[in-house]
């Protein structure tokens, strides 16, 4: 039933015909990346009130991003449509003290602007991130998402991930 | 939305509705259509004779369309969650409305419609209830179901049932809006493609209208849709929330508004050709200043009932050339009742499996063509309900579209479907006049 006059594309974004580039984030990207990170947090708030977003989230996000860029045990990938940042994936290396495999690459933030979704961009980003995290020493790739986020759940399950942990919370 | 239900004048018809409803105690009833010459006939209509018919249908269930009244039977189903402008008044409260709808189906479309409000606890329960009715029906009319629930229910039922499922608040309003728009564009020297269209209100009517416009050839980038928070665009702060809560509005946010206009109605109407308001809160929901920002010879539809978002006089003063409303006391009444009886007449006559968007577009074109043949003007862009000859015309267009789209169980030519629709509708009118003449249907009390 999808109307035919809806624009569909897989190779390029709405801004033009050049393919979307995925690359490591640059310092100058920090502000636009921070916007996207704040969007992920706001989205999380839709799933649970314990994810209420603080007022100065944007400036915190910028610091968070700046400290990520250039850190040897962290990864920050962006998807860019020309000069516009349309997607971001942040991950960090973590040690698993008691388990084997004992090094994990943890995806902490992953967001793609709505109109760039369903173009296999998420798939490309998670693939590239996995490869880079493997190079950095990760033996498994894990991702942190709200339990109620069924869209994220479907995304990972479809790509062979399975739920490893449940993270419970309540107000004391 | 636009339909027959507007009281005119309101107090008078409310009073009459209460008195008459009690007097008649029901607007429709199941009536025989076979003769009972003596009690012996029951051996044919019922057991033992009927067993032969049952066995034949068991062997080929599609024969139920030939051997029973299934082919012409439509259930008018609601959960009572958004009845008229009254909100969630429950299934019993919805019953008089569904009876009225059934009566219109009968009188204008010759359709045997059964009012069927149901008490359900969930969306899923409503869906499974309607699906369970399929063996008895030729079609389903969903009515007065709240948004966004109505989208999911309609999409699921359309996909999962092999008979037409129609939600009049979506497809009916969209179809009749498209019909009026075709002629409004003609009157103002425009084409559908390339016109800049603003949809004010993002409820069931305009969400369906957006989809139908795109299906009819409008580039979605030329459409701007506003909800209560303003113009929808892909980067709007709450778009992710929409993805979770209302995926239909989410789709619209992503695909429309190619120019990335942000803000409110002022910004949206700047340089727009067409405004379709289905937002309510009239008569001052839209100001003259806002409409005056539109292009010259602007087209404005105010579909809220009983009070349009803006009164036609004010819109004309603000520069609008063609103004339509949902009301019968102004020119250009965009009224669902022009469409749904004919849509089902046409769909039922060919035992259609579904009502595709193309069938609705063809119906809209036929409705528009009918008005055009009678001479368009800025005050006549759509037929009125008294021009009842339009119904078999539109029905035949629907039948033909169903045949073309491969959705007809029975193939009829245009001539055959027109004749059949004409006969069915004339039959209903004859039954009414003969029941009245014979005194079986009495005149109402003073």
In a mutational test of the A interface, the residue from B215, B240, B252, B259 whose CB has the highest number of chain A CBs within 10 Å is B240
CB contact burial A54-92 (16+ within 10 A = b; e otherwise):
eeebeebbbebbbebbeeeebbbbbbbbeeebbbbbbbb
With beta carbons under 8 A apart, name residues in chain A contacting B214: 3-6
Helix (H) or strand (E) holding B211: helix B204-215
Nearest to B316 by CA among B337, B302, B333: B302
Asked if residue A3 belongs to a domain, the reply is no
pLDDT confidence of residue A15: 53
Q: Which of A85, A114, A148 to mutate to test the interface with B (most CBs of B within 10 A)?
A: A114
A57 found inside a domain: yes
The chain A residue lying nearest B254, using CA atoms, is: A115
Give the gap in angstroms from C-alpha A125 to the nearest C-alpha of chain B.
19
Which residues does chain B have within 8 Å of residue A113's beta carbon, measured at their own beta carbons?
234-235
Helix or strand holding residue A87 (H, E) = strand A84-95
Contacts A151 to B, Cβ<8 Å: 243-244
Give the count of domains, chain A.
1
Distance from CA of B221 to the nearest CA of A (A): 8
The domain of A135 spans: 21-158
Nearest to B197 by CA among B176, B170, B178: B178
Residue A103 located in a structural domain: yes
Q: Is the pLDDT of residue A124 over 70?
A: yes
- With beta carbons under 8 A apart, name residues in chain B contacting A3: 211, 214-215, 220, 357
A8 — contact with chain B (CB < 8 Å)?
no
The enclosing domain of A92 has a CATH number of 3.40.630.30
The answer to whether residue B430 is catalytic is no
8 A C-beta contact, residue B321 and residue B298: yes
Look at residue B133 and give its three-state secondary structure: helix
- Taking CB atoms and an 8 Å limit, are A114 and B253 in contact across chains? yes
Q: Which of B101, B249, B365, B378 is catalytic?
A: B101
Q: Are A166 and A147 in contact (CB under 8 A)?
A: yes
In angstroms, the separation between the Cα of residue A43 and the nearest Cα of chain B is: 6
Residue B115: closest CA among B132, B95, B130: B95
**Exposure on the CB side of residue B234, measured as CA atoms within 13 A:** 19
Residues of B in contact with A43 (CB under 8 A): 240-241
Q: Domains in chain B and their CATH numbers?
A: 25-163 (3.40.50.10380), 171-325 (3.40.50.720), 336-364+385-437 (no CATH)
User: Residue A152's closest chain B neighbor by CA?
Assistant: B244
Residue A4 in this model has a pLDDT that exceeds 80 = no
Question: 3-state secondary structure string, B361-417?
Answer: HHHHHHHHHHHHHCCCECCECCCCCCCCCHHHHHHHHHHHHHHHCCCECCCCCHHHH
pLDDT for the residue numbered A17: 56
The answer to whether position A8 is within a domain reads no
Phi, psi for B277 (deg, rounded to 5): -100, 125
Tokens representing B395 are: 């029905």
Question: Measured between alpha carbons, how far is B438 from B392 in angstroms, rounded to an integer?
Answer: 27
| Residue A146 maps to a domain | yes
Residue of B nearest to A4 (CA): B215
Is B105 tagged catalytic?
no
pLDDT value at A7 more than 50? no
Q: What are the 10-residue block averages of pLDDT along chain B, 446 residues in total? A: 49 91 96 96 97 98 97 97 89 97 97 98 96 98 94 97 96 97 98 97 96 97 97 93 92 96 97 96 93 98 94 97 95 96 98 97 98 97 94 98 97 97 97 97 92
Distance CA B420, CA B400 (A): 13
Do the beta carbons of residue B319 and residue B296 sit within 8 Å?
yes
Assess if residue A96 is contained within a domain.
Answer: yes
What is the least distance, in Å, from the CA of A5 to any CA of chain B? 6
Give the chain B residue nearest A115 (alpha carbons). B254
pLDDT average, residue stretch A12-25? 74
Task: Say which of A3, A5, A113 has its CB closest to residue B235.
Answer: A113
In a domain, A62, yes or no: yes
The per-residue pLDDT for range A33-65, each reduced to its tens digit, is: 999 999 999 999 989 999 999 999 999 999 999
User: Is residue A78 included in any domain, yes or no?
Assistant: yes
How far apart CA B280 and CA B283 sit, in angstroms, is 8
Q: What is the mean predicted confidence (pLDDT) over A106-120? A: 94
């Amino acid at each position: 039933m999808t109307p035919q006059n809806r624009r569909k594309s897989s190779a390029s974004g709405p801004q033009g015909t050049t393919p979307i580039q995925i690359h490591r984030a640059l310092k100058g990207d920090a502000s636009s990346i921070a916007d996207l990170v704040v969007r992920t947090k706001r989205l999380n708030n839709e799933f649970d009130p314990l994810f209420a977003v603080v007022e100065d989230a944007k400036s915190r996000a910028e610091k968070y991003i700046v400290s990520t860029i250039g850190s040897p045990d962290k990864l920050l990938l962006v998807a860019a449509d020309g000069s516009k940042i349309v997607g971001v994936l942040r991950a960090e290396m973590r040690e698993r003290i008691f388990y084997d495999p004992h090094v994990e690459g943890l995806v902490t933030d992953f967001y793609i602007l709505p109109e760039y979704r369903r173009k296999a961009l998420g798939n490309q980003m998670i693939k590239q991130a996995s490869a880079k995290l493997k190079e950095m020493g990760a033996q498994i790739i894990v991702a942190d998402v709200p339990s109620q986020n069924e869209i994220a759940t479907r995304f990972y399950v479809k790509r062979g991930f399975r739920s490893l942990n449940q993270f419970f919370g309540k107000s004391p | 939305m636009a339909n027959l239900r507007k009281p005119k004048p309101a107090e008078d018809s409310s009073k009459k509705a209460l008195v008459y409803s009690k007097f008649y105690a029901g607007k429709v009833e199941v009536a025989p259509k076979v003769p009972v010459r003596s009690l012996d006939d029951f051996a044919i209509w019922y057991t033992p004779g009927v067993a032969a018919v049952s066995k034949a249908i068991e062997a080929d269930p599609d024969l139920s369309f030939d051997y029973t009244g299934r082919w012409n039977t439509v259930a008018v189903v609601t959960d009572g969650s958004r009845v008229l402008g009254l909100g969630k008044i429950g299934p019993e409260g919805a019953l008089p409305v569904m009876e009225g709808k059934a009566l219109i189906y009968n009188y204008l479309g010759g359709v045997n419609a059964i009012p069927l409000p149901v008490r359900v606890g969930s969306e899923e329960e409503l869906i499974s209830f309607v699906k369970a009715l399929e063996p008895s029906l030729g079609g389903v009319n969903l009515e007065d179901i709240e948004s966004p629930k109505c989208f999911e229910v309609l999409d699921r039922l359309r996909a999962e049932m092999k008979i037409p499922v129609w939600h009049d608040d979506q497809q009916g309003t969209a179809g009749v809006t498209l019909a009026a728009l075709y002629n409004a564009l003609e009157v103002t020297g425009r084409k559908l493609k390339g016109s800049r269209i603003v949809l004010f209100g993002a409820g069931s009517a305009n969400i369906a209208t957006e989809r139908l416009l795109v299906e009819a050839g409008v580039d979605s980038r030329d459409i701007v849709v506003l909800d209560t928070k303003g113009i929808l665009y892909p980067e709007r702060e709450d778009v992710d929330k929409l993805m979770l809560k209302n995926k239909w509005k989410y789709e619209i946010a992503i695909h429309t508004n190619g120019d990335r206009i942000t803000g409110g109605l002022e910004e949206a109407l700047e340089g727009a050709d067409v405004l379709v308001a289905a937002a309510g809160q009239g008569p001052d929901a839209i100001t003259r200043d806002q409409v005056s920002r539109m292009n010259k010879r602007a087209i404005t539809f105010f579909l809220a009932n009983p009070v349009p978002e803006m009164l036609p006089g004010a819109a004309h003063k603000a520069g609008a050339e063609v103004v339509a409303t949902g009301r019968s006391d102004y020119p250009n009444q965009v009224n669902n009742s022009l469409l749904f009886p004919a849509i089902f007449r046409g769909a039922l006559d060919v035992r259609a499996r579904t009502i595709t968007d193309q069938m609705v577009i063809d119906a809209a074109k036929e409705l528009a063509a009918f008005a055009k043949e009678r001479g368009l003007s800025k005050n006549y862009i759509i037929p009125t309900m008294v021009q009842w000859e339009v119904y078999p015309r539109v029905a035949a267009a629907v039948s033909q579209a169903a045949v073309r789209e491969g959705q007809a169980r029975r193939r009829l030519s245009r001539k055959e479907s027109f004749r059949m629709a004409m006969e069915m509708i004339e039959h209903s009118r004859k039954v009414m006049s003969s029941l009245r003449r014979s005194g079986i249907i009495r005149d109402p009390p003073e």
